[in-house]
Amino acid sequence: MAQGPVVHVVGARPNFVKAAPVIRALADRGIGQTIVHTGQHYDSRLSEVFFEDLDIPAPDRNLGVGSGTHAAQTAALLVALEQAFGELRPALVVAYGDVNSTLAAALVAAKQGIPIAHVEAGLRSFDRSMPEEVNRVVTDVLADLLFTTSPEARDNLLREGVTEGGIHFVGNPMIDTLMTHRSRFDAGWAKAHIGIEAPYAVATLHRPANVDDPATAGRIVRALLEVSGSLPIVIPLHPRGRAVLEAAGLAGAERVTLIDPLGYVAFLSLVSGATLVMTDSGGIQEETTILGIPCLTVRPNTERPITISHGTNRLVEPEALPGAARAIVDGSATFPTDRPPLWDGRAGERIAGVLSGWLSSPR
């Protein structure tokens, strides 16, 4: 992509899904852009496959930062982004979501006096033990333009002292991507690729709070094994936590199929054909809401409460999973039927409209 004054910083799987519609909408307006991939996710199954599936232009730079402890990874991100911004001299840095690359982009841009736009601002789990919550709070305090996906995000930001004029409620770019590619989702994917026929459940687990501690992982695995008694489960396993989950009893379980991480279209195809999803992901809570697939989120809280008030999501303790899954299978569970406002596939256009006005106004 021809380099330009708007520099997108992306680094991890969910970033790519959110950035795709914004990059496309800015390109439609003829605004010059540069894509910087930090290299936080380097595995092709967590990175390249998303660029291909979502038709995102190849990154102009890959900083190759890779994995590490939070301190080591964030430090490497800061050093690499400082050098990249020094060379690229962005008019604006756009950062997405809540991963370590997002936090680092905001911190480096702020120190270099570069304005920051944060896409998916204002989400709060109010749980500072989650690394993502720390990243959200710090990024938002530094951002100049804050693009929100749901109405309560504005209240969260105002409570933290963010200036009202910087907040723009634009809808959800992750749902733009879902709507753009929905016709490619094949609900028969599981049958064609792994020989599992519906009804089946899908599970994904990768949060440190769920997979780092063997005792907690064990509680979740016991619950999944019980669910699998009534519904076979397919689990695309994120590399993080694979060993702990397998050791806790997932490896070799008869009605649990462990597979490698999937690309965007394959994963949403798998979800489209599922009876229910059990997850600790943020984005999947949103995607299932629009697909109308019941979602049981194995976490004590969510930064996306709108998926509960307007969607198919429900928070469950591990021990409550089997009962909650049974209620979905027997049809006794009910979910709200109205969907979140502005989750209509046009968030990228709205963001591009605001950015275009901002870039052409005198400062």
Positions marked active-site:
206
303 within 8 A of 136, measured Cβ to Cβ: yes
Q: Minimum CB separation from ligand UD1 for residue 304, in Å?
A: 12
Helix axes 100-111, 131-142, angle to 10 degrees: 30
- Do the Cβ atoms of 308 and 333 come closer than 8 Å? no
| CB nearer ligand UD1, residue 100 or residue 177 | 100
- Least distance CB 10 / ligand UD1 (angstroms): 11
Cβ neighbours, 10 Å, residue 35: 24
Are 286 and 174 contacting, i.e. CB atoms less than 8 angstroms apart? yes
- Please tell me the distance from the alpha carbon of residue 250 to that of residue 203, in angstroms, as a whole number: 12
Residue among 18 and 238 whose Cβ is closer to ligand UD1: 238
Backbone angles phi, psi at 276, to 5 degrees: -160, 165
The CB-of-66 to ligand UD1 minimum distance in angstroms stands at 8
Name the minimum Å distance from CB 338 to ligand UD1: 27
Torsion angle, alpha carbons of 106, 134, 140, 352, to 10 = 70
Binding site for ligand UD1 (CB under 6 A): 12-14, 40-43, 46, 67, 73, 98-100, 131-132, 206, 238-240
CA 224 to chain centre: 23
- Integer angstrom CA distances of residue 317 from 216, 218, 232, 297, 350: 11, 13, 20, 8, 37
Beta strand ranges found along the chain (DSSP E): 6-10, 33-37, 61-62, 92-96, 116-119, 145-148, 167-169, 201-204, 233-236, 256-259, 276-279, 295-297, 313-315
How many angstroms from the chain centroid is the CA of residue 338? 22
40/288 with CB nearer ligand UD1: 40
Least distance in Å: CB of 268 to ligand UD1?
15
State in angstroms the smallest separation of the CB of 177 from ligand UD1.
15
Nearest CB to ligand UD1, comparing residues 299 and 314: 299
Nearer to ligand UD1 by Cβ, of 67 and 275: the residue is 67
Q: With respect to ligand UD1, which residue has the nearer C-beta, 2 or 71?
A: 71
How large is the angle between the packed helices 173-181 and 283-291, nearest 10 degrees?
Answer: 50
